[in-house]
């Protein structure tokens, strides 16, 4: 079985995001970028499945500018076998539906038995691509998965829901989006980083895959959230209740 893992290049989660002066978006120039943390978890799970002898190949794929190849090399250094880079310009706003259509075309070329991906990216926080991809492919779907086991032609997934945990049995092929508690990703060793430079990476374009990535949405304005106001110390519970009722008007 082959496992396809879509990954995304995002601003490193340790970096404070800054809004551009013209409020057209967030500042990406001279900003440290990294693989989306949920994507790292998906790569790690795919590698564990391969190491358990349940998969023969792990393929990582990314949609983005030339710099996305660095993110793909990170996945290859972790242990993935091959990379696929779908080229898009630096300023292109590739929306979730367009990404899902691209991944559908890639899946039809690669014919994986399982697509593992992060539940969402930490930049847009859309949480849409996995669901859209499953619908386009007409494949089984499990989202927010915190435990995953494969048993022949089926997959058993435990997903996190508002009321607790939900257990699902999926018929393969399937799309699975992963949550934080599924695993802890490994660090890429220096020898593996060097080996990753020699691993194959295919280059494709949306046009070659027959996908139009023209945005359907327009960003009007991006602003920073308002600064948090200082707290107030109250003398007793009665004063707290009065302030919540009369000033905050929440009760």
State the pLDDT confidence band at 42, using cuts at 50, 70 and 90. Answer: very high
Q: Mean pLDDT throughout 26-46?
A: 92
Q: What percent of the chain stands above pLDDT 90?
A: 71
Residue in this structure with the two tokens 């593992």, named with its chain if needed: 116
Return the number of other C-beta atoms located less than 10 Å from residue 105's C-beta.
Answer: 18
Residue in this structure with the two tokens 């038995």, named with its chain if needed: 113
pTM of the model: 0.86
Distance CA 59, CA 244 (A): 54
State the pLDDT confidence band at 68, using cuts at 50, 70 and 90. Answer: very high
Residue in this structure with the two tokens 């490994």, named with its chain if needed: 186
Q: Mean pLDDT throughout 197-220?
A: 92
State the pLDDT confidence band at 28, using cuts at 50, 70 and 90. Answer: confident
Q: Does pLDDT of 55 surpass 90?
A: yes
Q: Mean pLDDT throughout 99-123?
A: 95
- pLDDT for 45 equals 96
Hey, what domains does the chain have and what are their CATH numbers?
2-226 (3.40.50.620)
Distance CA 48, CA 219 (A): 39
Q: Mean pLDDT throughout 67-84?
A: 94
Packing angle, helices 68-78 and 37-51, rounded to 10: 30
State the pLDDT confidence band at 82, using cuts at 50, 70 and 90. Answer: very high
How far from chain centre, in Å, is Cα 38?
5
- pLDDT for 179 equals 93
Q: Mean pLDDT throughout 148-164?
A: 91
Judge contact between 209 and 104, C-beta under 8 A.
no
C-alpha dihedral sign at 93, 13, 45, 155:
negative
Distance CA 37, CA 179 (A): 10
- pLDDT for 139 equals 96
- pLDDT for 47 equals 96
How far from chain centre, in Å, is Cα 53?
25
Q: Mean pLDDT throughout 147-166?
A: 92
Q: Does pLDDT of 231 surpass 90?
A: no
């Amino acid at each position: 079985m082959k496992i396809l893992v879509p990954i995304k290049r995002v601003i490193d989660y340790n970096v404070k995001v800054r809004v551009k002066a013209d409020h057209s978006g967030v500042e990406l120039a001279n900003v440290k970028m990294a693989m989306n943390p949920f994507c790292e978890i998906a790569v790690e799970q795919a590698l564990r499945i391969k190491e358990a002898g349940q998969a023969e190949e792990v393929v990582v794929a990314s949609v983005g500018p030339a710099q996305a190849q660095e993110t793909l090399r990170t996945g290859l250094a972790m242990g993935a076998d091959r990379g696929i880079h779908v080229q898009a310009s630096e300023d292109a706003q590739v929306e979730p539906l367009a990404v899902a259509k691209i991944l559908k075309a890639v899946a039809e070329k690669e014919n994986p038995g399982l697509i593992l991906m992060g539940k969402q990216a930490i930049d847009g926080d859309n949480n849409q691509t996995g669901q859209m991809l499953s619908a386009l492919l007409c494949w089984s779907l499990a989202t927010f998965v915190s435990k995953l086991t494969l048993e022949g032609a089926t997959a058993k997934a435990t997903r996190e829901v508002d009321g607790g945990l939900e257990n699902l049995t999926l018929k393969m092929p399937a799309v699975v989006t992963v949550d934080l508690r599924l695993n802890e990703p490994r660090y890429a060793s220096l020898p593996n980083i060097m080996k990753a430079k020699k691993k194959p990476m295919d280059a494709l374009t949306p046009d070659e895959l027959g996908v139009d990535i023209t945005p359907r949405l327009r960003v009007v304005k991006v602003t920073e959230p308002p600064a948090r106001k200082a707290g107030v110390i109250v003398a007793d519970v009665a004063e707290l209740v009065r302030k919540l009722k009369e000033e905050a008007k929440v009760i």
